Structure 1
Amino acid sequence: MTISTLELPVTVTVGDRSSMEGQLDAAVKTVRAAAVRERRGILVTRLNSHQFTVELNDCVPFGMTRERQIW
């Protein structure tokens, strides 16, 4: 995925717990270029046991990644 075609938020759906961390790391890495360009932080939100979103967020300081859970 290139940054010019990046649609936010990025939704990550994991099939099993063992692949979760790698998939989330890849999504954060993809969003990081936009975060640097826009000088915004990254928010990872757990929606349920298998689904997450990764997005830019003005409440997260530039250079930081925060996690939250809403289920």
Structure 2
Amino acid sequence: MSTATLERVPASFVSTKEPLSQTIDLEFSTAGAMHAGLEEAVAELIEVAAKDAACGILVTRLRPGRYTVALDESVPFGETYEAIAA
């Protein structure tokens, strides 16, 4: 049996004058859970990003099994980038 822990940082919805800020923190214990969880988190942020069309999505691997998925203004709208934290 596998388990996945999804930690979601509450999103504060901001006006269009302020930069977008939403991050989802994820932690997984299996590869299968990781793939499904990352896909779900990216899909959730695609909906948020589409409202303002101002940024893309950055998926960052913090350590094995630990990721953040975030709206990021350095990523062009409609794209998803991946990064590994140093």
| Coarse TM-score class (shorter-chain normalised) | 0.7 to 0.9
Give the drift of 1:33.
Answer: 1.0
* Counterpart AA for 2:61: R
Aligned partner letter, 1:28: V
- Residue in 2 that maps onto 1:57: 72
1:38 matched to 2:49: no
Count of residue pairs the alignment pairs up:
66
Name segments (4+ residues, structure 1) moved above 4 Å: none
Q: Which has the higher helix share?
A: 1
Unpaired segments ≥5 residues, structure 1:
1-5
Residue 24 of structure 1 is matched in structure 2 by 38
* Runs (5+) with no aligned partner, structure 2: 1-9, 12-21
- Identical aligned residues as a percent: 32
Inter-partner Cα distance in structure 2 for 1:34 and 1:66: 16
Could you state the TM-score of these two structures normalised by the residue count of structure 1? 0.84
Please provide the CA RMSD for this pair: 1.2
Give the TM-score of the pair, scaled to structure 2: 0.71
Higher RCO structure (Cα 8 Å, ≥6 apart): 1
How far apart are residue 15 of structure 1 and its match? 1.3
Instruction: Name the larger-Rg structure.
Output: 2
